Structure 1
Amino acid sequence: MDDHAMTVPECKPWWRFPLVWMVMAGPAVVVVASFVTLWLAVRTPDPVVESDYYRRGIEINRSLARKNLMPAMTGRNHAATPESDVPAPRR
């Protein structure tokens, strides 16, 4: 058999292989998603907490106590407790 009779397969450029594009698609999607996230973060900044947030919270708790409603933590902790055993809200 003649060694020159064997044909060497033609080499295609790297961009002609679909698997290369599939491997590069994952990181490309992540980069695009990160820019979308950055754009959303810059476009809609978080609201600033008010300086008197603590006083306003205390006022809300007092108004709930006047309406005979409990703060969330007390209500959650006593959700299954019989009503006769539930302690009165703190003031």
Structure 2
Amino acid sequence: QTRPTNRHGPILEIWQYTQMEKRIESAENGITRLASLLQDLFTEMYDLKESNESMKKTTDDLKNQHDELQRIVDMLNNEKNDWVVLASI
């Protein structure tokens, strides 16, 4: 009866296969978690972009309103000055 020269018998091969399966499963779980985190990040980035665009539009609207109010104030000041000039005549 001869002994196998290969020191890796079937029990050791099964053990190594089991360990490899566990490593693959851990890697798959890590990749799944990473994909989930990336999806969350992309969602947050999209939401931030939308929020930023909304804030920019609101800021532009406020600037336009400010400019219009400034125009009205300037016009009223000019009319007041015209009345002062007319009243002094």
TM-score of the two chains, using structure 2 as the length reference: 0.36
Q: Which has the higher helix share?
A: 2
Q: TM-score, normalised by structure 1?
A: 0.36
Question: Larger C-alpha radius of gyration, 1 or 2?
Answer: 2
